[in-house]
Amino acid sequence: MKTLIMAAAAACALLPAAAMADDAGGSGIDISASLTGATDYVWRGVSQTDNHAAVFAAVNVGYKGFYAGAGTENVDFLGINQEYDLWAGYALDLGAVKIDAGMVRYGYVDAPVDIDTLEGKLALTVPVGKGSLTAAGYYTGNYFGSSNSALYTVLSGSYPLTDKLGINGAVGHQQISDASSDYTTWNAGLSYKVLPGATATVGYYDTDRSKNRLSRARVMGSFTIGF
């Protein structure tokens, strides 16, 4: 079952990496897209592709702080092969601090049961030297088709070592109203800007659910091209 982004979580940000923005005709509308290949699809510490490779595609549109986007990626669980994600929200700069509030919907093509899920998101990002630190929470009242509510809290950070090389990491905790399913996950990694709009990453992911082969410690690599 899906236990996630975009991480990597993307906590090392495994929702697909942001691409270079394009100001459409000078209208103030920013459009970005990305294509990512990865050795695994790890979301909140758990493989969504049965420990196999994944391909992600995403597009995002922004206007004066408002944003919306969509993405899709392959998965391998419950007989499901494809996931799609929809998101929207508003990001507000308060001095050096950024507040981001939004919604994320996870959907599954040809799922044998209804596990589509809608989460609310609230995140706060503050600068730390040249880097940044983000605290975020994601809440849902119907955790992947169940009657359980769930809250995922995560603290993540990134820091540039050079113009091209950066480090990142995160610690997150998934709480589910069925407390027996709670777990903690963490990750750390490096990112390298190979070319403008092209980034390679490598990261270490782990959880405290080491008896589950999908959530054991692993190293994952990815390559993203932004448009």
What is the domain-level CATH number for residue 152? 2.40.160.40
Question: In the prediction, which pLDDT does 5 show?
Answer: 41
100: which strand partners?
91, 123
pLDDT(9) > 80: no
CB neighbour list of residue 196: distance below 8 Å, 6 or more residues apart: 20
pLDDT in tens, 24-36: 556 799 999 999 9
SS3 state at 207? strand
59-63, 75-79, 180-184 — which is least confidently predicted?
180-184
Question: In the prediction, which pLDDT does 178 show?
Answer: 82
pLDDT(56) > 50: yes
89: which strand partners?
67, 102
pLDDT(172) > 70: yes
How far is residue 36's CA from residue 124's CA, in Å, rounded to a whole number?
A: 26
Question: In the prediction, which pLDDT does 12 show?
Answer: 35
Counted domains in the chain:
1
| 4 occurs within a structural domain | no
Question: In the prediction, which pLDDT does 210 show?
Answer: 76
Give the residue numbers spanning the domain of 73.
Answer: 9-226
Contact yes or no for 224/189 (Cβ under 8 A): no
| 41 occurs within a structural domain | yes
| 2 occurs within a structural domain | no
| 220 occurs within a structural domain | yes
Provide the sign of the torsion angle of the four alpha carbons 78, 5, 84, 18, taken in this order.
negative
How far is residue 50's CA from residue 76's CA, in Å, rounded to a whole number?
A: 6
